[in-house]
Homo-oligomer: A and B are copies of this chain.
Amino acid sequence: MKHHQYALTPPMGWNSWDCYGATVTEEEVIGNADYMAEHLKKFGWEYVVVDIQWSEPGAVSSAYRPFVPLDMDEYSRLVPAVNRFPSAADGQGFKPLADYVHGKGLKFGIHIMRGIPRQAVHQNTKILGSNVRARDIAKPNSICPWNTDMYGVDHTKEGAQAYYNSLFDLYAEWGVDFVKVDDIADSKLYGIHAEEIKMIRKAIDQCGRPMVLSLSPGPAPIDHASLLEENANMWRMTDDFWDLWPPLYDMFDRCYKWSKNIGPGYWPDADMLPLGHIGIRSVDGGASDRYTRFTKDEQILMMTLWSIFRSPLMFGGELRDNDDWTLSLITNEEVLEAHRNGFGARQVYRENDKVVWTSSGDKQTIYVALFNLTDNASKITVTFDQLGINGEEIEIRDLWNKENIDDVSHELSFDISPHGAKFLKLTNLSEQYCQRITRLNL
């Protein structure tokens, strides 16, 4: 599983969906890439991802226009709409934009839908590298229930793999580093599309360029954890996530369920961070142009969960509109260190909506996160015994407040705001403890 090496730590980046829906333009992508290069790159943020329907010249929001024509090359492959991505003119595709992003020291990603364009099938256009045509490889009974762009591809048909190969060959030419494939991990009609996942894995492996593979939407089925881990780098644990408490509350259960299936190169994905200025031209999530509806406590709680669990971090807002608070949330070096270096994350307990997680770090270190999911300020406690440590000569650091905590003996206990969290780092643990966790938890 060579592809695990493409994402040895959870990917971090920006994605256009939460702010621009299906409508992002080249100018906006460049603007966010510039911001990332200037403000975020040094903290590990690197992917700039153009989300859905970059081939749709008339996209107006996150609501798709059914059955409209898309920009496509002669080989049934969708290409960027030039009115939205001017640099794509003259058949250059996303190469100029990818080059620009690479020039900033960043990586470039795109979204695609599983399958082959319906318009290709009804026009019966060619498939590169084969003698067949679109009609021959389309799977009749395989649509996406929420978007009319594509038909699925039938893996039993000659030319099916050739089609996917031709896609990723093109993306490799463009310089794509990250591909988010949609309508594949949890089709609302058919479950997971295992065979198309395998074709895409093969297509990437043969294309000669490392690309991180991200699967959407969720919830990906956990009884296919093996398939997901062996073929992808990340997969969604939920349907689209937005800035509302119920889905954030719900994410704790999902993380608990998936916590045994995380490792270097394979990352269950809690979805984009709907932070900062979102909904600019996206109408999903039950709201319009806005700053995130999460309270500051909820934002801390979300960042803490995503970090200790090691979800990929994909910022959803228009970066250029970040206020200081939002910027501070995603540039806390100590928190991001836990995200980058932690491992073996597990829920210590959950009782009456009080939740504690821990993970292990380098150098005789563990991380501990305490979450208050209740609607009232509450004291949350975890004993050293529950954490499996003895606590001698321990140093305790509050990661969000960037301050040390003294006078702690046998337990951690804090008053935490409603929907709030505390994120701690405990160091100078005994050598013996660290050997044990290395042996048992991995």
Contacts and interface: CB of A to CB of B under 8 A. Distances in A.
A121 B189 contact: no
Given A5-B440, A122-B119, A223-B222, A138 B67 contact: yes
A203 interface: no
A141 interface: yes
A111 interface: no
Interface string A247-269: 00000000011111101110000
Number of copies of this chain in the oligomer? 4
Secondary structure call for the A interface: mixed
Contacts of A1: 440-441
A67 B265 contact: no
Nearest to A65: B135
Contact of A225 (B68, B260, B264, B347): B260
A114 interface: no
Contacts of A95: none
Nearest to A438: B442
Contacts of A261: 225, 260-261
B148 A226 contact: no
Interface in A159-212: 189
B138 A66 contact: yes
A178 B148 CA distance: 33
Interface string A137-163: 010110101111000000000000000
Given A119-B122, A223-B222, A442 B66 contact: no
A4 interface: yes
A183 to B, nearest CB: 12
Contact of A143 (B124, B143, B257, B439): B143
Interface string A222-262: 11111001100000000000000000000000001111110
8 contacts: A119-B122, A143-B143, A226-B256, A226-B258, A226-B260, A229-B260, A264-B439, A442-B442
